[in-house]
Chains A and B, each alone.
Chain A
Amino acid sequence: MSEFATLASPYSMPAALHGDVDLTDSDEKTRSRALNQFLAGVELKAFKMAQAALRNEDDALDAVQDAMLQLARAYAARPAEEWKPLFYRILENRIRDMQRRRTVRGRVFAWLPYRGDEDEDEPDPIAQAASPDPQPVRRLELDEAVGALEKALTELPRRQQQAFLLRTLEGLDVAETAAAMGCSEGSVKTHYFRAVQALRAQLGDLYV
């Protein structure tokens, strides 16, 4: 029995180790793939939300990028169901930081003469490429509605804007929205209701 045990252990150990390594690698790959899929699914919506809040494309990209990094670095090990509220919570914090910084910068540089947009350059032909759309008239109507809704959204108070976009665009339920916004479900309902009222007052029923 003892001889068997002595003989068995050297053979069993490498097999167990090998198995463990494979399992860990596989888990990591699976998680990385899931995170990639999750981020790919939210990045465009997150960009739109950040753009509505910051009213600047580059700042919005930076905010989304930072939120992605923070989620991947600090919360990748958390259950996948928690990623969405966490991601939008991080994004919201980042947006708020950028708005604060912008306010401070605005105060400091208010006395400087305006020198125009230094980042303004030639239009990118790739950026200008039209996306495939079957109906030109329908597209025109939708584009008009998009412009009107985006403009109305930027005029909403930040919390209302956030509640509306998380619920309508991202499709989060009240509890998830509350987790993302860091407030109670009652507050989410209030913000959302007021947002809808304000948008309807401005846009009508938005028939498209």
Chain B
Amino acid sequence: MSPVNETVTEFERNARVVLERSISRIDARTRSRLNQARHAALATAAKPQRPLWLRGATLMPATGAAALALLLGVALWHGEPAHRPGAAIEMPLPEGQGASMEDMDLLADSEALDLLEGWDGPFYEWATSETDLNGESDG
């Protein structure tokens, strides 16, 4: 064995003695806490563990409820229900006649009331009948 190795071995031996001394200086409070931790670990090991699938099943109702709530929220946020039970089935309106948010804005606008004041009913009726007649003659 080389002198270097002998010195290392001596160092290791001394270091071990010092470290053992260091262990013996650990106070009673820490020893007690470690002792408690050990018994807690052993008690945990003694308890029968539930299988993984059963642990997953515990969370199923909560997950299902959360998913349902999310689905309901999305449905309410993104539009009207397709069909309410007991209500008459609504036929789709022709293009341009459906109420949209823009129409609602126009109706709510105070300037729209000004337009109504200058309403010329007979003129619009005449214009509509003219359009219809032209359409029939073209077709």
Contacts and interface: CB of A to CB of B under 8 A. Distances in A.
Interface of A: 28, 32, 35-36, 39-40, 43-45, 47-48, 57, 61, 64-65, 68-69, 71-73, 76, 124, 126-129, 131, 133, 142-143, 145-146, 149-150, 164-165, 168-169, 196, 199-200, 205-208
14 contacts: A36-B38, A40-B35, A44-B34, A61-B30, A64-B34, A65-B34, A65-B41, A73-B41, A73-B44, A133-B24, A149-B22, A169-B16, A169-B23, A196-B8
B115 to A, nearest CB: 60
A32 B17 contact: no
A44 B24 CA distance: 9
Contact of A131 (B15, B17, B24): B24
Given A196-B8, A196-B12, A36 B42 contact: yes
Contacts of B21: 142-143, 145-146
Q: Is the interface on chain B under 10, 10 to 19, 20 to 34, or 35 or more residues?
A: 35 or more
Contact of A127 (B16, B17, B27): B27
A142 B28 CA distance: 20
Nearest to B23: A44
Contacts of B46: 28, 32
B130 to A, nearest CB: 76
Given A64-B34, A72-B44, A208-B17, 17 more contacts: A39-B38, A43-B38, A44-B23, A44-B31, A65-B37, A72-B41, A128-B27, A129-B28, A133-B24, A146-B21, A149-B15, A150-B22, A165-B19, A168-B15, A169-B19, A196-B12, A206-B15
A48 B12 contact: no
Given A45-B23, A129-B28, A196-B11, A208 B18 contact: yes
B45 A47 contact: no
A137 B8 CA distance: 26
